[in-house]
Structure 1
Amino acid sequence: MKRIILFTILASLALPCFSIVTKHDVNKDKYLAKNVPEFLIDMPGEGHGVLIKPNWIVTVAHLIFSDYTGKEIVIHGKKFTIEKVIIHHNAKKPNSSLFEGDAKPLMDFMKTTSDVALIKLTEDVSHVQPIALYSDSDELGKEITAFGRGSTGDGKQGSIFETKRQKVLRTMTNRVDLAEGNWISITLDDNKNALELEGIDGSGDSGGPLIIEKNGKQYLTGLFSWDYVEGDLKSFKHGLYGGKSYQVRISNYINWLNETIKSN
């Protein structure tokens, strides 16, 4: 389940979100998504976006590799033209010096940025339905379902970077174990707390949706963004049990999303 200086360098460290990494003792076929969610959009190159209005897609800012204005994006078999891309004003790139040595300065920096962007299409998407946004700030402890086409692996061996080329759509479940400020976070557990299809994001999953179901309705609550690292960056292995990743917290950006869409 990479990009500009931040995520290009982190890719070599296995740091950015990698596709769904699974439990080692569960049949891997159980993680295969039976259907592609209508709101899930594949971004140009890799990663994902989510249809939240008939002509608006939300994604993570680090997937905006170039000027996408006027370019085409395929949404469930149909081509649409991108009218504009609006990146959050607080989306920041770290200095290259942060990619050496202890991970803490880089992790501290990542927590201060806003990895979110909006894409406006020139016309409405009418053949699939958008997903509603989760606006409540009670995500902590709630179960989420997520999707991604990135790399895979399991909690014992970690994420296998080369598997991202398969572009296989997988799904997983987890629980939100942190919800503060810009971020929600999940951990890959291997104990009594682990869910049946416990998983965590892998390389190429960036922008993939985290979904909460409430009163029978699905809501977008997060977007896969980055992985948490402790210790030396060079020795980090992504996707092992106990690993943690951070996701864009949609509820924290509700006002920015709604106001930006309204004013554009």
Structure 2
Amino acid sequence: MYRLLVTVLLMVISYSSTAIVIRHDVSPEQYLVEKKPPYLVYMPHEGQGTLIAPNWVLTVAHVIFYDYKGKYLTIGDKEYAIESVIIHPEYRKLDKTVLAKGTKMVMDFQYANQDIALVKLATPVNDVTPIALYPSNDELGQEVMAYGRGATGNGLNGAIYESKKQQVLRKLTNKIDEVKAQWLSITFDQNEQATLLEGIDGSGDSGGPVVVKKDHRTYLAGMFAWDYVEGPLEEFVAGQYGNKSYQVRVSSYLDWISQIIKTN
């Protein structure tokens, strides 16, 4: 039973569930990223973050696996030491005790969670421009582009978990089809409903930036976080058409982010 719960945990939280899974009818090469966005940061263990200020990287709390103080992040062509990590005070880890209560309890837990963290760098980044945070609450219906380097697969067959070891950076497009208090949601559509590079996030992608373009400027609107599941957890198949995932809604945390930066 314990091993089953661990497996389900890996499926439900996107750092270990699926990854950027692509359309079956589009060449995989079109999803590859030739040049990593300069604001995209790879976290020390797994997952990603985004440079939002010279001294600050924003990420999801569940990719902070241990004390990262003194670890280094590569930004641009340089390495920067981590001075501290500040996790939202209302973040809670999803563990086996929650998983044992079934799908509804797990989904309710995820909806209520505050899965966000700030990483302070010991020295400022001067040669990379931080991305702006999306300042509005009109995300619904907007097309986004997002990045991840986890596992891959296609919407017909789902994700191939073992492929995450390749750590190949890919991009996807999708549309925000649901907005909740602290979450944005995308669905893996197909046929005429799908965007050109339709995809969905997952394993190894957590914290990956979900960006929008407005008035010729790129904004960070969200960060990959978790998969929505219906039915028994143990029967969930990641990365198939029709699946839905949730991203941290950055606009709902603007005050918290501003307060942390000002007081640190």
Partner of 1:40: 40
Distance apart, 1:104 and its partner CA: 1.3
Partner of 1:69: 69
Aligned: 1:223 with 2:223: yes
Q: 5 Å matches for 1:48-67?
A: 48-67=48-67
Partner of 1:13: 11
Change in Cα spacing, 1:214 to 1:139, as seen in structure 2 (3 Å) is same
Distance apart, 1:254 and its partner CA: 0.4
Change in Cα spacing, 1:94 to 1:47, as seen in structure 2 (3 Å) is closer
SS in 1 for 2:81: strand
Tell me, in whole angstroms, the C-alpha distance in 2 between the residues paired with 1:217 and 1:82.
28
**Maintained 8 Å contact 1:206/1:225:** yes
The one-letter code sitting in structure 2 at the alignment partner of 1:19 is A
**Maintained 8 Å contact 2:223/2:249:** yes
Partner of 1:96: 96
Moved more, 13-22 or 240-249: 13-22
Tell me, in whole angstroms, the C-alpha distance in 1 between the residues paired with 2:43 and 2:93.
20
How many pairs align? Answer: 258
SS in 2 for 1:240: coil
Partner of 1:3: none
SS in 2 for 1:203: coil
Change in Cα spacing, 1:162 to 1:11, as seen in structure 2 (3 Å) is farther
The one-letter code sitting in structure 2 at the alignment partner of 1:122 is A
Tell me, in whole angstroms, the C-alpha distance in 2 between the residues paired with 1:42 and 1:70.
15
SS in 2 for 1:192: helix
| TM-score for the superposition, normalised by structure 1 | 0.94
**Maintained 8 Å contact 1:44/1:73:** yes
Partner of 1:31: 31
Percent identical among aligned pairs is 48
**Maintained 8 Å contact 2:176/2:185:** yes
Tell me, in whole angstroms, the C-alpha distance in 1 between the residues paired with 2:162 and 2:12.
11
**Maintained 8 Å contact 2:9/2:96:** no
Aligned: 1:139 with 2:139: yes
Change in Cα spacing, 1:70 to 1:57, as seen in structure 2 (3 Å) is same
Partner of 1:87: 87
Distance apart, 1:129 and its partner CA: 1.1
| TM-score for the superposition, normalised by structure 2 | 0.94
Structure with bigger helix share is 2
Partner of 1:4: none
